[in-house]
Amino acid sequence: MGPGVAVGRTLVFYAVLLFLLRVMGKREIGALSPFDLVVTIMIAELAALPMENPEISLINGLIPILTLAVAEIGVSYATLKSESLRLLLTGSPSVIIRDGKLIESEMRQVRYNLGDLMLQLRLKGVINIAEVEVAILETNGELSVILKSEYRPMVPADLDVVPQYDGLPLVLVVDGVVNEFNLKRTGFDRDWLRAQLGKQGAESETDVLLASLDTMGRLFVQKKNSSRRVKHADIL
């Protein structure tokens, strides 16, 4: 098998795997359950074999991968309908801490040691177990922590305050390219955008690394090759 054929086969499997991961859903790319992890590893191994062995045809290499992908999609739909099947394949969450007390029997059952627990708590910004109302070990291995009410951060609702709405900003320019869809949503045009960029030292959108408009009408602009953040300009 020549270099060109090897490159071609590799690109074919690369494209197929990207497509299958996209079809199989976002949960396959994010935190994986044990069942999803097994399927992902098997697909990776099956893809490696025909890329390394030229005697395996493309069709024979793709069939088992496609079979696994179809089976995974089918099982995913089945678990939406069947709670018992979902529990069988992914397991159920385990309560590790309740009312500031460790539940040793549950930790022993899931083989979750104190070192891992303290690490996860520190990552959540918790240093004292007594402050925890409930800590749940999820099926993907993540630890969900709910603090006791007296230790939770204060939020505006605690003071009966309604803060001003602060939604997602609209990205108008990325690496010199204008997002026409988002610009249209703002109700402005390119002439307006160029004028606002000019106020912040950018001659045109091609000089801009990122420009976004927040819900308060403030335009954030950072030019290319610039480590200094340009201040917000109130344009409304």
Tell the residue number behind the tokens 């793709």, with chain if given.
Answer: 62
pLDDT at residue 40, rounded to an integer: 78
Cβ contacts of residue 113 below 8 Å, gap of 6+? Answer: 107
pLDDT at residue 221, rounded to an integer: 93
Task: Identify the DSSP state of 156.
Answer: G
pLDDT at residue 133, rounded to an integer: 95
End-to-end CA distance of the chain: 64
Look at residues 138, 74, 87 and name the one whose alpha carbon lies nearest to residue 112. 138
- The continuous run of DSSP H or E covering 3 comes out as helix 3-24
Tell the residue number behind the tokens 């930790």, with chain if given.
Answer: 107
Whether 219 and 212 have beta carbons less than 8 Å apart is answered as yes
Tokens describing residue 212: 């976004």
Whether this model's pTM surpasses 0.75:
no
Low-confidence ranges of the chain (pLDDT < 50): 28-30, 227-232, 234-236
The span from the CA of 131 to the CA of 150, in Å, is 8
Domains of the chain with CATH codes: 3-87 (no CATH), 94-151 (3.30.240.20), 170-234 (3.30.240.20)
Cα separations in angstroms, 19 against 7, 11, 29, 97, 127: 18, 12, 12, 41, 43
Strand order in the sheet with 101-102: 101-102, 94-98, 132-137, 143-147
